[in-house]
Structure 1
Amino acid sequence: ITDEAHFQFLQNAVMQYYMYKSTDSGEVEIGRNITKLENMGFRVGEELIER
């Protein structure tokens, strides 16, 4: 499996975790979880570009 596939598996697992966690919470918590996911994606993208 390539590095890209590993990253996709990790990304899917993180998204499923945050979305599952959000279903038990209110709308405010869903918004926070989406913001966390966006921030993680931004940081990972920055690091990949720097390589």
Structure 2
Amino acid sequence: MASNRQNKGSVAFEDTIREYLEKRAENDALFAVKFSNPSKSVEDCVTYYE
């Protein structure tokens, strides 16, 4: 079974989220500060669960 990272659907989803967040960061200075935090990643965001 393929891992989540290798799943084309998961990669496309992550790419879509990344593009949205990058555009938002371009237009929102306060968000850009949070988005540039090196301890955070889009991959962690889309795979987060409790």
TM-score, scaled to structure 1 = 0.56
Corresponding residue for residue 10 of structure 1: 13
Distance 1:42 1:14 in 2: 9
Structure 1 residue 38 and structure 2 residue 41: aligned? yes
The gaps in structure 2 that reach 5 residues or longer are none
Higher normalized contact order (CA 8 Å, seq sep 6+, divided by chain length): 2
Percentage identity across aligned positions? 2
Distance 1:31 1:15, change over 3 A: same
Aligned length: 43
- Aligned letter for 1:8? V
The gaps in structure 1 that reach 5 residues or longer are none
TM-score, scaled to structure 2 = 0.57
Q: CA RMSD in A?
A: 3.2
More helix by share: 1
